[in-house]
Structures are given as structure tokens and as C-alpha cells.
A and B are shown apart, each in its own frame.
Chain A
Amino acid sequence: MEIKVLKNVLDKNKDQAEENRNLLDEHNVKMLNFISSPGAGKTSLLEQTIPELQKTMKVAVIEGDAYTSRDAERLQKFGIPIVQINTEGACHLDSNSIRNAFRQLDLQSLDVILVENVGNLICPTGFDLGEGYCIAVLSTTEGDDKPSKYPMLFRKAKAVVLNKMDLLSYTSFEKDNFVKDIYELNPQVQLFETSATQGTGTGEWNTWLNRMLSV
């Protein structure tokens, strides 16, 4: 006997993500989902971003990490609320873990939540968290073929931050190919070039982000 089901495996996650989105709207909080491979520089970028946002907004961070709390520790210096989610090996955050993280935050007092997803280009892309939009971070050392290999993320991202520009000359990264592939997938995307550890190129990114979060 065959029984038709026709149900999306991720429906449950999507429903909870919509609930999260409504909850954020009610409290007038914006949430961004940062997705990249491990070591692309998400935390370093946040270290450059948080102090800028803090000037005008109340910021919180939700840190997704497979096992450790090292990234959360790095961000403690900013004195902002940080919720650590240990996924115990799972390769992505889901909307339910974000809902649980909200319970540890005072949404009423916040303007922005930055979510640092687990380092991975595939799984986090499929799991809507209820964010306003997602930001892809890619580093020059990973190679210029990543957009065409992981099209879902680069199609979905509102902005792509190309990090480790200071190392560009030591890699085989062809920026022209990368830029062409990115715009092929996502003509409306905002592209930024940074060296987060050096603090270069982050000004333009911060200006754009501030503008996006102020509307």
C-alpha cells in the first residue's frame, strides 16, 4: 500500500521560524543570520561590527557552536547579551533552538540580534531561523568557486562579505570569477571586501548594515 504524504521535511522548522519572525516584529527587533564555512572570519567580522552598531543600537548575539563556547568568549568584551547554543555536533542552528535562545534575552530592550551560525555552507542555508535576512561570509583562502558550489546560500544572502582580502595575493582566488558567479546567482546582492582582523574594508560594510537596520 502506498500512501501519499507530500510534506516538506523542514515544515516544522519553517512554522517555528515564522513564529520567531512574528515575535521579533512584535518587539521591533531585527535579526541577521551569519553563515560561512569554519574559519572564514564570522567572529572577527562581528568584532568589527558590534562596536559600530553599539553606538546607536542595543545589540545581542546568539552564538551557534558545535561544541565549544570560544566564539562567545571572544565577544564578551563588548558587554552585550550573548546566548550560546551548543548544537552538540549538529552542523546548523534551527528555529527551535533560536526560540529557546529568545527566552534568555529581553527582546523588549533590544534592537538587533546577530546570529552566528555553525560554520558550514550547506545545512544552515536550509534552516530558516526567522531572521530578517542572512549574510554570507567567504574568505579568499577558500577559493573563488564557492558560490557555484553552494548556490543556495549565495542566492539567498542579502550581502556577501569577502573576507581575508589581505591574503588575496597569496591565494589562487580569482576575484573576477567570483564576482561574476555571485551576480549570476544573485543580481541584487551587496558585496563587501574586508580584512576583518586588520579592520580594513569594514567601514563600508558597517555603513550599509547601519542603514539596513535603521529602516
Chain B
Amino acid sequence: MEISLQVARENKLSRITVINLDVGKMQHLNESIMQHGFDAAKQGTTAGEASLKLNWLPVKLKCNECHHIFTSADMKLSCPYCGSKDTNIVQGTELNIKSIEGE
């Protein structure tokens, strides 16, 4: 919220209407709790009427052995191509403000 309000000030927005947030699925966040927290935080700010839009990003990993990139829906983090457990998370841990909309 602090970041959004600052960006709004820098861009001379009088009110924020939407905050677009990228959320990685690996964060295991609960949408209704997020909305609830957002509603509490926006009170009395230029984002008082704003809505929070969550864009859920699936968990993607890159295998360090065979270099395939794959999506994991069930939190299995080993490579489905070669079975290696040596993988890096390339997407799914985000909690980023993508953009704000306002006027």
C-alpha cells in the first residue's frame, strides 16, 4: 500500500482505482485474507475506493541437469523429464505490485 500510494503521488494521481498484484502460487496466500487486509489498509487513503486484483502465477522450475523449464501444479519440485531434484524456482514466489490504475 505504501509503495502504491507513493507511485500515485509521483504520478499525480488523485485516486487509485485498481492495484494489480502478481502473486506466486508457492506463497500459499489466501485470497480472502489478502482482500480483507487490503480493505483495512486502504481506509482513509487515495486508494480508499480501490480494488485489489490478484494475478496468480503458477510455480515454474528450471532443471539444472537437463535445463527443461516445467510447471509444477502439485508442489513436486523434481524434474519430470530427467527426474533430477536439482531444480531452481523461476516463478511462483512473487509478491509484486505489477501496476496501479487511477486518475
Contacts and interface: CB of A to CB of B under 8 A. Distances in A.
Contacts of B13: 1, 3
Contact of A151 (B21, B26, B101): B26
B3 A9 contact: yes
B26 A8 contact: no
Nearest to A10: B95
B71 interface: no
Interface residues of A, number: 22
Given A7-B3, A184-B85, A155 B97 contact: no
Interface in A1-26: 1-10
B73 interface: no
A117 B86 CA distance: 29
A6 B3 CA distance: 10
A148 interface: yes
A98 to B, nearest CB: 20
B95 A8 contact: yes
A7 B86 contact: no
A187 B26 contact: no
Contact of B85 (A2, A3, A151, A187): A187
B27 interface: yes
B4 A5 contact: yes
A152 B3 contact: no
Given A152-B93, A184-B76, A184-B78, A5 B28 contact: no
Given A122-B28, A184-B77, A187-B86, A9 B97 contact: yes
B99 to A, nearest CB: 5
Interface in B50-103: 75-78, 85-86, 89, 93-103
A110 to B, nearest CB: 32
A191 to B, nearest CB: 15
**Most chain B C-beta atoms within 10 Å of own C-beta, residue among A150, A152, A155, A183:** A152
27 contacts: A1-B11, A1-B102, A1-B103, A2-B100, A3-B11, A3-B99, A3-B101, A5-B98, A5-B100, A6-B96, A6-B97, A6-B98, A6-B99, A8-B95, A8-B96, A9-B21, A10-B95, A122-B28, A126-B27, A148-B75, A150-B28, A151-B28, A152-B26, A152-B28, A155-B89, A183-B85, A185-B77
Interface of B: 3-4, 7-8, 11, 13, 21, 26-28, 75-78, 85-86, 89, 93-103
